[in-house]
Structure 1
Amino acid sequence: MGVITVSRQIGSEGTFIAKRVAEQLGLSCIDKEDIEKVMHAYGFSAFEEVYNTRPGFWERFDLQRTATIDFLLTAMRAFAKVGNVVLLGRGGFGLFQGYTDILNIRLRAPLAVRLERKQKEYGSTDQEARKAMIEQELIRTSFVQTDLQYNQNDAALFDLVIDTSIVPPETASLWICDAYRQLMKNPRIDAKHTRADLVVDDVLLKLVTTMLGRNET
């Protein structure tokens, strides 16, 4: 069993590709809604607000915000511990550096291409799409770089970086599937950890296992 993390720019077809990869490999695709279910089960009802807003200077030191982010990382470790999942977003690539059985993917595309895709998706004007995309990217970047302190623009943190304006999403999916299969056959030799090393509370692990419809091991 292994894990794939997918970091993506808005409009890079990341959600489509992640779901397609999960389907082709028989994995579970874990997105924001799945994470929210776990967060809410543990009383972190403010996760949506924390994730979708850029904090001011003092808000970065808010204890509730810090506790919410800490538990987010704990929840992601639980999903990775269960395994056979594609983790979409939420900085998984930074959390799982140096693991023999976790593949980190980055999907990107030029701004003009991503704007055109979003215009077609929502039927908005170029100006509306640009404004919405830039604001959302600022929020995501702030969360990953300021709250999590990871740099999604550092290509060295990824096993595979794909420009979906050049590589069609269907082809990108096949590349990722092939890379995953190769990693499962030949675990990286320069890594120090495996998923088995992840320490997760038994109650949380049981909740995630049940969510994924897996049998406990």
Structure 2
Amino acid sequence: MGVITISREMGSAGSYIGKEVAKNLGLVYVDKQFIARIMREYGFSQFDEVYDNKPNFWERFDAQRAKTVEFLIQTMRSIAQHGNVVIVGRGGFGIFKEYGDVLNVRVKAPFGLRVERQMQVHGMVREEAEKHITNNDAVRQSFLESDLHLDCNSAQDFDLIIDTGVVTPKQAMEWIATAYKNLMANGRYGATYKVSEIEIDEVLKKHVKMMLESL
């Protein structure tokens, strides 16, 4: 019973890879939409605004924003505690970096290739795709740095960093699956924590369990 976190750049095929890895390994795929449902049900309707917008100076010290981020972390921890999940985005690589049964993966690709993929998938012109990806990168980096105090550009917190400009999505899936199976069989050297040991509010735990089992 373990967890895979996937941090990905827009246009890197990271979400697709995460879905296929989950399907092939018999794990549950968890993305922003699933997490947002839980957040909204607990009254955190500002989740999308917090995650999808770069905060100004004063918003970084907003009490409601801090509460939203804290509940996001608790939600992520509850999902991980359930086990057998692939969590895409939301800074999972940093939240669970000290756990011995969590594989942290970063999927990236050259900017030009990401732009071409956006143009192809969403029918954008090049200038529109470039602007969309640049803005998305800035917002995600701001959230990780300002709210979670993480650096997705550092290799230190990742077990695998895969460039889909070099490695095909199929190869990436195979590498991730192999690494995950090895981690489950052998554990992580020096790790002392397991996701099953995470202490979570019982009400949230039961609610998340019910939602995961309904997927």
TM range (shorter): over 0.9
Distance 1:76 1:194 in 2: 14
> CA offset at residue 107 of structure 1?
0.3
Q: In the alignment, what sits opposite 1:55?
A: 55
Distance 2:122 2:76 in 1: 30
Distance 1:171 1:77 in 2: 29
Describe the SS at the equivalent of 1:212. Answer: helix
Q: How does 1:167-206 map to 2 (within 5 A)?
A: 167-206=167-206
Q: In the alignment, what sits opposite 1:27?
A: 27
Distance 1:107 1:24 in 2: 18
Q: In the alignment, what sits opposite 1:162?
A: 162
Distance 1:67 1:98 in 2: 23
2:72 aligned with 1:72, yes or no? yes
Q: In the alignment, what sits opposite 2:12?
A: 12
Give, as a single letter, the amino acid of the residue that structure 2 aligns with 1:151.
D
Describe the SS at the equivalent of 1:11. Answer: coil
Q: In the alignment, what sits opposite 2:134?
A: 134
Distance 1:213 1:72 in 2: 20
Give, as a single letter, the amino acid of the residue that structure 2 aligns with 1:10.
M
Structure 2 spans left out of the alignment, 5+ residues: none
Distance 1:96 1:22 in 2: 18
Q: How does 1:88-167 map to 2 (within 5 A)?
A: 88-167=88-167
> CA offset at residue 213 of structure 1?
1.3
Relative to structure 2, which stretch is displaced further, 85-94 or 192-201?
A: 192-201
Structure 1 stretches of at least 4 aligned residues deviating more than 3 Å after TM superposition: none
Tell me, yes or no, if the aligned pair for 1:108 and 1:162 is still in contact at 8 Å. yes
Identity %: 47
Tell me, yes or no, if the aligned pair for 2:83 and 2:196 is still in contact at 8 Å. no
Distance 1:135 1:208 in 2: 31
Tell me, yes or no, if the aligned pair for 2:82 and 2:196 is still in contact at 8 Å. no
> CA offset at residue 66 of structure 1?
0.4
Distance 2:38 2:181 in 1: 29
> CA offset at residue 159 of structure 1?
0.3
TM-score by length of 2: 0.98
Structure 1 spans left out of the alignment, 5+ residues: none
Give, as a single letter, the amino acid of the residue that structure 1 aligns with 2:47.
F
Relative to structure 2, which stretch is displaced further, 197-206 or 16-25?
A: 197-206
Distance 1:196 1:22 in 2: 19
Tell me, yes or no, if the aligned pair for 1:98 and 1:190 is still in contact at 8 Å. no
Tell me, yes or no, if the aligned pair for 2:101 and 2:194 is still in contact at 8 Å. yes
Relative to structure 2, which stretch is displaced further, 130-139 or 187-196?
A: 187-196
> CA offset at residue 97 of structure 1?
1.0
Tell me, yes or no, if the aligned pair for 2:17 and 2:169 is still in contact at 8 Å. yes
